[in-house]
Structure 1
Amino acid sequence: MLSTLEDWTKTLDHGGNIDVVYFDFAKAFDKVPFNELISKLANIGFHPRIVNWIKNFITGRSFQVKINESFSQSYPVTSGVPQGGVLSPILFIIYTSQIPALVSQYGVSCKMFADDIKIYKNISRNDDHAAFQAAIRAIWDWSIEWKLPLLCAKTKLFHLGRSEGKHVCYLGEGRLCSTDTIQDLGFTLNTNLSFDEHCHIIARKADHTVHNILRSLSTKSATHLLLAYKSYVRPILEYGATVFSPKSKRSVLRLEAVQNSFTRTLWIRLHGYDYANIPPASIRNRIFQTPFLNIRRSKYDLVMAYKIICGKVKPPINKSYTVSPSCTGGDSFKIKFQTAKSSLRSSFFTLGAGSASLKLSKKYVLPCSLAQYKRLVDRFLKESS
């Protein structure tokens, strides 16, 4: 997701227009044909024993339907990989692995995660749109050849950039529906690439989870309640934090309000309804050892930037950072990155985390160990707050 947004924000920063298509396969995991999948595994070069093991794993299955205490007769499973199986997403990725190479010949980028597939291209002239349409057609033809049908009604066109740059795209004989909001790997995106709506959605979900925890657990044990909060609530607020990390004050406060509400209720449960003596959020956070969420997100950004700079992220997405050895004694290496022309690009992870990493590298000699770096980040953020 970071790699995708890196491409998009960089293109938009230079005044480009981007067309994106999110493909939806009809019952993706259930439609993968056995023979074609086994053939692909063999052609890729898997050992015959592994191919036979996978063949035995996915074939020879049957299913029944249960209603109350009655069962239908048994029917054979004729296609598909088991839903919920550990191997299933990997097998689906292998089955669709031709798609990126298929569209790259048209200058179109492709990003895949299991059955979530999207393609995109910078559209600056009519030839670009024709190439993009040809890539869509190539995927349509591939889906027919490999018996993995696409749903035109659920395949969406997503446009980024100037409204006058919008084009019409077709999948098969049907015109693709355009949308201004899309769900991408759990993130809510709009055409402005603003994550304000996403922050509102996850904050509302986290509020609901906090309510359920406090209603279900009548204990006055701060340890147990904090453990429940850290296990069930904070992951909702921090999933993909490096991707959506909000910059608007409204979204930052909305996310922070979830934790503030929880610690306030926890304090009341422990000490009673003495509203005059309820300490402010900063003191409650220190007492309960729940740092402000924006500080935690800053740590995630710095750690991710360090991983990218050091080449610890696969596939590498460090195209925006230029790293060179330092000739001075203050830092171990120098970080350079292009300045942004737009607020969208300047607020994106690459520049925000890069700028913070630059400040950190000027203040401390950066260690080689990731564990050491994390401790250094904690120290840096504590001194900065």
Structure 2
Amino acid sequence: MPKNAQTTAQLHSSHMLVMLKILQARLQLYMNCELPDVQAGFRKGRGTRDQIANICWIMEKAREFQKNIYFCFIDYAKAFDCVDHNKLWKILQEMGIPDYLTCLLRNLYAGQEATVRTGHGTTDWFQIGKGVHQGCKLSPCLFNFYAEYIMRNAGLEEAQAGIKIAGRIINNLRYADDTTLMAESEEELKSLLMKVKVENEKVGLKLNIQKTKIMASGPTTSWEIDGETVETVSDFILGGSKITADGDCSHEIKRCLLLGRKVMTNLDNIFKSRDITLPTKVRLVKAMVFPVVMYGCESWTVKKLSAEELMLLNCGVGEDSCESLGLQGYPTSPF
């Protein structure tokens, strides 16, 4: 718990929120200049769907040209909580952030103290020197600078390992701390991973080996890092969408349909109620079901719908419910 509760309360005052908004706008100007296009996290006009679509497109092209492709989905252990404040200020300076902005940020983080309450009492007060503020507008920007520093020092942009696309080598895609490494061989991928691991440890971040996964369309061997085995998987949930090693989107389509069906089941009592108007029910379907069923559909490679898929589309929202709501065209013809 914080030593000065009033300081925490002040953070949410109207004056502080206005100042944070101004600082955020200033930082984003520098962030847009410093961050490469492979980083889509917390950037205007970018999102998880961009990275999902990019990976699906890369897999589709690799299959078209009969090339093996290897992915490593990196997971960090409490990434946002491990940002070292002193190292962060130095990183911001190296990134070209003006001194006045860094000074304001230092003041926001200065003098933080906490104590731990246990069943045997409380500990002595201690300084907090790590972690970005939870829920603060500036935290995503600050972490993006921190992560970019790691990738630059790892030398990924200059590395020859990766996927060659239109004369350019792509070896990583990022959404904040969610990092995907990619290469055309297992040796190249392992080399990229070890470079990232070394640079992460220099600034206090650690890989969560148990949640870090390898996915490949070619043959793989067993990987061990610090005595822990890195699991090889045939599919992975990236940004809320299921990516499979064979690049087949039908698995993800069926998964979304089943999730949509669960939502419809939960809303069944509402749809049967005579106290709720039809327009309200329609709005509920559009607000709660369609986003679930259609999430990430921009990246789907859609084939001619089979009888089984058509049935799943109907079942995903419920054919009877659709007819009663006047939505026959929506779930059965999403494309």
Same fold (TM over 0.5): yes
Shift in Å, 1:295? 4.3
- In the TM superposition, 1:153-192 aligns within 5 A as 153-161=210-218, 165-192=219-246
Deviations 1:245-302 (A, max 9, x none): 54353345423433343634745xxxxxxxxxxxxxxxx43xxxx6334644x3xxxx
- In the TM superposition, 1:351-366 aligns within 5 A as none
Distance 2:109 2:288 in 1: 34
Pick aligned residue for 1:57 from 105, 108, 132: 108
- In the TM superposition, 1:136-285 aligns within 5 A as 136-161=193-218, 165-216=219-270, 218=273, 219-244=275-300, 246-247=302-303, 249=306, 250-261=308-319, 263-264=321-322, 266=324, 284-285=326-327
* C-alpha contact (below 8 Å) 1:203/1:258 kept by paired residues: yes
Per the normalisation by structure 1, the TM-score is 0.61
Shift in Å, 1:110? 0.4
Deviations 1:175-199 (A, max 9, x none): 4221112111111122222233323
* C-alpha contact (below 8 Å) 2:212/2:230 kept by paired residues: yes
Share of identical aligned residues, percent? 18
Shift in Å, 1:53? 2.7
Q: Determine the structure 1 residue equivalent to 2:330.
A: 292
Shift in Å, 1:140? 1.4
Cα distance change on mapping 1:76 and 1:251 into 2, 3 Å: farther
Deviations 1:326-373 (A, max 9, x none): xxxxxxxxxxxxxxxxxxxxxxxxxxxxxxxxxxxxxxxxxxxxxxxx
For these two proteins, the number of residue pairs brought into alignment is 268
* C-alpha contact (below 8 Å) 1:20/1:118 kept by paired residues: yes
Q: Determine the structure 1 residue equivalent to 2:83.
A: 32
Where relative contact order (Cα < 8 A, 6+ residues apart) is larger, the structure is 2
Q: CA RMSD in A?
A: 3.1
Letter in 2 for 1:258: G
Cα distance change on mapping 1:79 and 1:136 into 2, 3 Å: same
Cα distance change on mapping 1:7 and 1:215 into 2, 3 Å: same
Q: Determine the structure 2 residue equivalent to 1:103.
A: 156
* C-alpha contact (below 8 Å) 2:83/2:130 kept by paired residues: yes
Cα distance change on mapping 1:143 and 1:200 into 2, 3 Å: same
For structure 1, the residue ranges without an aligned partner over 5 or more in a row are 124-128, 268-283, 299-385
Distance 1:236 1:60 in 2: 44
1:121 aligns with 2:168: no
Letter in 2 for 1:227: R
Q: Determine the structure 2 residue equivalent to 1:316.
A: none
